[in-house]
Structure 1
Amino acid sequence: MRIAVTRRDKMNVVELTGTYTYRSFLNRPEPVDDFNKLRFAQLELRLAAEPDGTVSGALVFSEEPGAEPIAMDMVGRASGSSPMAFTLTGRGRPNSAIADFHYEYDGIALRHWETGIGQRMTLAGTVLRAEDHGSGSSLAKAGQTAGFLAVKRDDA
């Protein structure tokens, strides 16, 4: 039996540009009876990528109509390798409720199947809480990791 192997071409990093539904999951190896027990976050990720590989954007926690969104500013780099790889740093906006947030992201764009139906660009990777944030009983210690998936939405 012969299996045909096709070469995947390099991706244009500008293809990262868009709005994604971002979901991160706790790294729990045991089965769970409720999928929400794996939930770390569900947010909106907005990215803009330049041809030179520069990436910027925001990870938006909530957005009340007419209010300034609570968000982390995202900056990083992407390569057009196959698979496309990227690194991002997220920091809470100054003078916001999450000003002390600092997270690091490392990921790839998952394969787009040539015969796939209804497939969307999906980013996958890991996230690290790079610094403590909060205080007292709400202290979130540095070092927490999670896996993430971000699914690209339709262009608005």
Structure 2
Amino acid sequence: MNITELTGTYTYRSFLELPDPVDDFNMLRFAQATLKLAADPGGAVHGELILSDPGEEPPVVMDMTGTASAASSRVSFTLSGRGRPPIADFHYEYDGGVLRHWETGVNQRTVLAGTVLRAEPHGGAPAGRTASFLAVRRDGA
């Protein structure tokens, strides 16, 4: 995979890192959003994480910037997300990579996986909270 293949629209989901089993999978939910990324051959990545539903005004968006690299057929990336008003105080850091594409896999999609860190406090939530994330590429994206 080359770096530009990160370009696309993904369904982003992040999960609290709770070690014990839960009865309700929603107890793990940290966020669900639309992630749009564009990557250039030199490794620069930019995009947006849209946290609001389509048509919601004002939209709730974080601008994403970062870098990607390819080594041993794996693509890894780091991103920094900074909120636009009304969430201008949001700042999150992301570290992830593209999961393996199985040669014999059926209907496998491109999936990004990694960790996210709340880099600055906001709305009474302290900095330092971490979560795991998956982002699944959407059709036509």
| TM-score normalised over the length of structure 2 | 0.95
* Alignment match of 1:123 (pick from 101, 112, 123): 112
Q: Which residue in the other structure is 1:33 paired with?
A: 23
Structure with bigger strand share is: 2
Task: Give the root-mean-square deviation of aligned CA atoms.
Answer: 1.2
How far apart are 1:149 and its partner, in Å? Answer: 0.3
Q: Which residue in the other structure is 2:4 paired with?
A: 14
- Structure 1 runs not aligned, ≥5 long: 1-10
Q: Which residue in the other structure is 2:76 paired with?
A: 85
Q: How far apart, CA to CA, are the structure 2 residues paired with 1:39 and 1:70?
A: 18
Q: Which residue in the other structure is 1:76 paired with?
A: 66
- Structure 2 runs not aligned, ≥5 long: none
Confirm or deny that 1:106 pairs with 2:91: no
What are the Cα deviations for residues 43-76 of structure 1, in whole angstroms up to 9, with x where unaligned?
0000000010000000001144274521000000
- The letter for the 2-side match of 1:119 is Q
How far apart are 1:19 and its partner, in Å? Answer: 0.3
**Percentage identity across aligned positions?**
66
Cα distance, 1:66–1:123 mapped onto 2, change above 3 Å? closer
* Alignment match of 1:43 (pick from 33, 57, 77): 33
| TM-score normalised over the length of structure 1 | 0.86
